[in-house]
Amino acid sequence: MMLVPTCDIEWHDYVIKAQETLKQDALSLSSGSARRSYADLLFGTFSSDEASFILLNERLAEISVLSEDWDSYGAPVPTAAAITAAEQALEKLRFSMLLPEIVAPSAEGGVSIYFSQGNQKAFIEFLNEGDVLLARYGKDDEPNVRVLRNGLLDLDDQALQEIRGHLGARA
């Protein structure tokens, strides 16, 4: 007999458990079609933005288990601190409704969160040494790179608005 959730918390827990079971089944099949099916199911179950954030967080989990020299050019693995900072940033971005395009390991050691709209690009990079960079650039722009001196504390509404303004309508 299957129990039917009766409140929001039970429903949330039920969905998370079902999602985890499905993810394990889909990801155990290492084929691209299994992953696409899993992504399709997420997009059918959640809002497209919520599904995208689930996939971004899963990509971050994959990045967290990389081995040294993951790019065959000597790149260091992202530290646990860089992964944690990127997780917290993704949560800020989700609540701010600013959807990144991709999360990727940094060749310099750390994690980068990328945004793109046409020729306009931006990224937030969490370096292994603890520095956080915010970069904006475009085809016709001079690159604008700055260090967020207080790390995640400086990834505030103003910084997110800078990204939004730089990218235009998509953000």
- How does residue 31 score in pLDDT terms, banded at 50, 70 and 90? low
Q: What is the pLDDT of residue 28?
A: 54
Mean pLDDT, the chain, as a whole number?
A: 83
The candidate with the shortest Cα–Cα distance to 110, out of 88, 131, 89, is 131
Q: State pLDDT tens for residues 138-162.
A: 888 888 999 999 988 899 989 999 9
Please say if the pLDDT value at position 117 is more than 70: yes
The candidate with the shortest Cα–Cα distance to 53, out of 99, 89, 92, is 99
C-alpha Rg value of the chain to the nearest Å = 18
Q: State pLDDT tens for residues 42-101.
A: 767 777 888 888 889 989 999 999 999 988 999 999 999 999 999 999 999 999 999 999
Euclidean distance between CA atoms 43 and 29, whole angstroms: 19
Please say if the pLDDT value at position 25 is more than 80: no
Q: What is the pLDDT of residue 87?
A: 95
Are the beta carbons of 105 and 89 closer than 8 angstroms?
no
The domains located in the chain, with CATH, are 68-167 (3.10.450)
123-144 mean pLDDT? 92
- How does residue 13 score in pLDDT terms, banded at 50, 70 and 90? low
Q: What is the pLDDT of residue 22?
A: 60
Euclidean distance between CA atoms 38 and 33, whole angstroms: 9
Euclidean distance between CA atoms 71 and 83, whole angstroms: 18
Please say if the pLDDT value at position 19 is more than 70: no
